[in-house]
A and B are shown apart, each in its own frame.
Chain A
């Protein structure tokens, strides 16, 4: 597939890198030749220096033969305009990055589609959603619902007190009924588990299960649930604002922000939020504001390092729930070993959202796991595809991938060996990137 990406910022370059490795043909445009030179030394793609909202420059990218146009420049207006222009120039599908949820409302969608802007991506909003779910569900690192909650994916950090620790998965048998461990992250390693693998203390394990089994999973992993009431935000970034908006009124929220103007803006925008103007790196200030009494601590300042360190501090004084926004990929692995809690990466979230538009097989959902290189896909099993031919056990499924479960009609089923996928089922599958090609064959 030929993809044109406008904007060589963080999201743009990450997407270009990822899609190029997936053997898509990438044309990346930006008005800064320096940025383009940098990435073209690392990734096999074509670059075009120019403005995303110039017809002449857009034509240079060969848009009329492209399948997908992604506008992820820093400016929302430019992205929207660029998508409209790209559609006019003949690209099949466009995606614009926005920072205003107004565009997402259903009643304007048709109008926007007529203008040639087909999809929107709002990375801050997606990140906020992820933070909210991790605050609401205190046992998990990552929580993700398929088909409105018929199956759920939970990433759980396993401690020594979990009953299932240090035992091969096949021995656990009935204990793990309706629960499938689909991916284990251990240090920098990433395991798609088979029956012989064991879960060790310190692993982050991704499970697929359903609502009714959720509670049992928490027991098995030794998690005690608690209610979050007091939340402290470090940094009043757009992600923080979006999160506060989504959290609603049932929490006592404090926001610490260093920029005075932004403080008044947040105070203006939200009723029941206490905004404190101060530097979050100042430990005294944090303690004075009752850091120790907080149930959750969410650090989303512009600096990944500050977020990491402050969360580490919060953990060390006993705050159970911490969320750090880490935009620097190199730091994510370090963070895993530092006991930081949940990590949110805007780029990864945005990229995984866009990723699904580039896949061949019918896919309704895709999700990149933050602390693992694995990805989760929700495929729709079409008639005549290989996945529907035999029961799962006999399918010769690639070892890099694992079936999580299926959703048939209104019901979700957690995967088991005897299960057979039928036409029209939604199939939840996990894979590391190297298994993607093999996996696609089962759904084509």
Chain B
């Protein structure tokens, strides 16, 4: 294990975080809020140790092995979240460490679960920092870092694949830093477009930027306690729905679509299923709402579409309290907790591609039973998927369920009630935000005890890094087979 390189990257990442805090400092200063000093101290607290680490590790190698890649990414995420708590603590907006850690982790992992019950009293700088944590974490802090570091070569690839969701890394360009730049470019561009469209709908510049950050990252932090329901304008809600949907799409496909190759988008099997799932669940819930409530048709459609897209992309914005619907309808929503966005998107969860592969594999298993010597591979995008990949997906799903059930049991020790525990665990693990029971869409996580909050924060990181990156560090062979 090359600790010098690991510390160097951690140091460089602290500098990146310090720079992000400086941007928030600027916003806080422009808004003339009470949080200016909090940001000044926080950025100093990042920049100083960051600089010291970088200076101390000047002549370190640029080579990063696979195992080091996993360790670096996990460490960076932990450290980023630890230092990210400083503005909340220094400004006394979220004074408790467990609360601040939960909020920061929820920001970077784009979960969007909050412990804040008095959002309207927060200064603008802090609100901006909350949204910025989403935006940085959405496309990935490591990916952002790689766009600035062309020198990493194949080492960058190890980092990239440990952070970016999905089973394989799809390169758009020969160099990993170029690929990172392209996806970040698409990300920045879409964010800009959303800001402009939201401003057309009458949202202020500040709120538009914060919400665009949260939408494109599939985060879910709003600047208002009531989330998107604060703006009853159908236009704003549809715009946000559209961009949530885009953020849950594979960014490689968006890049090609942006260059005029729209056919690639609809040729892609994952995108087609993603589209179908959204459509299907929306129709189910919409018709359920029409039958069971007296909502006007347009609003019923809008609420169901918004909720489905918000949950499947793991954003977690709220326009309607789904827990007030018939239980069968919120059960449908809860099933979506386990879907997640596409591979290569900013969405969390299990990912559409994995779900489709699991379903196909199970279905083909029936045919394999009828034809014991048949060669029946699982096909995706017209190509046979290697058995190794299927086994990887099966293992992932098994881990996912295991973590879900074990964590629910653990959380029930702190919380007591099962609805809340299951909802909170599924929501944090899938990086969604709102859960069930007392952590439902109109509530926050503030009532969860501190130990439970720290536990849920770690679950968010586990989910964001897609289990394997973190779990592999706890396997004995990670440390012994060197």
**A27-52 Cβ-contact flags toward B at 8 Å (1 or 0):** 10000000000001011111100000
| B473 located at the interface, meaning its Cβ lies under 8 Å from any Cβ of chain A in the complex | no
- Which residues of A pack against B, CB within 8 Å? 2, 20-21, 25-27, 40, 42-47
Give 15 new A-B contacts, CB below 8 A, not counting A25-B173, A43-B154, A44-B176.
A2-B174, A20-B174, A21-B153, A25-B174, A25-B175, A26-B174, A27-B174, A40-B157, A44-B154, A44-B174, A45-B174, A45-B175, A46-B171, A46-B172, A46-B173
Chain A residues with CB under 8 A of B153:
20-21, 44
**How many angstroms from the CA of A248 to the CA of B154 in the assembled complex?**
48
Chain B residues with CB under 8 A of A40:
157
**B145-180 Cβ-contact flags toward A at 8 Å (1 or 0):** 000000001101100000000000001111110100
**How many angstroms from the CA of A338 to the CA of B157 in the assembled complex?**
38
Chain B interface category by residue count: 10 to 19
7 shortest interchain CB distances as A-B pairs: A25-B174, A46-B174, A44-B153, A46-B171, A44-B154, A45-B174, A26-B174
Chain B residues with CB under 8 A of A43:
154
**How many angstroms from the CA of A21 to the CA of B151 in the assembled complex?**
10
Residue on A with the closest CB to B157? A44
Chain B residues with CB under 8 A of A20:
153, 174
- Which residues of B pack against A, CB within 8 Å? 153-154, 156-157, 171-176, 178
**How many angstroms from the CA of A25 to the CA of B154 in the assembled complex?**
13
Residue on B with the closest CB to A28? B174
20 contacts between A and B (CB under 8 A): A2-B174, A20-B153, A21-B153, A25-B173, A25-B178, A40-B157, A43-B154, A44-B153, A44-B154, A44-B156, A44-B157, A44-B174, A44-B175, A44-B176, A45-B174, A46-B171, A46-B172, A46-B173, A46-B174, A47-B171
Residue on B with the closest CB to A61? B174
Residue on B with the closest CB to A16? B174
**How many angstroms from the CA of A308 to the CA of B479 in the assembled complex?**
38
**How many angstroms from the CA of A40 to the CA of B174 in the assembled complex?**
10
Q: Smallest CB–CB gap between A343 and chain B, Å?
A: 28
Chain B residues with CB under 8 A of A2:
174
Residue on A with the closest CB to B171? A46
Chain A residues with CB under 8 A of B156:
44
**How many angstroms from the CA of A40 to the CA of B175 in the assembled complex?**
11
**How many angstroms from the CA of A20 to the CA of B172 in the assembled complex?**
16
**How many angstroms from the CA of A40 to the CA of B171 in the assembled complex?**
10
- Residue among B154, B156, B176 having the largest count of chain A Cβ atoms under 10 Å: B154
Residue on B with the closest CB to A2? B174
**How many angstroms from the CA of A42 to the CA of B157 in the assembled complex?**
9
Chain A residues with CB under 8 A of B178:
25
**How many angstroms from the CA of A40 to the CA of B172 in the assembled complex?**
14
**How many angstroms from the CA of A43 to the CA of B156 in the assembled complex?**
10
Residue on A with the closest CB to B178? A25
**How many angstroms from the CA of A25 to the CA of B171 in the assembled complex?**
12
Residue on B with the closest CB to A20? B153
Chain B residues with CB under 8 A of A25:
173-175, 178
- Residue among B174, B175, B176, B178 having the largest count of chain A Cβ atoms under 10 Å: B174
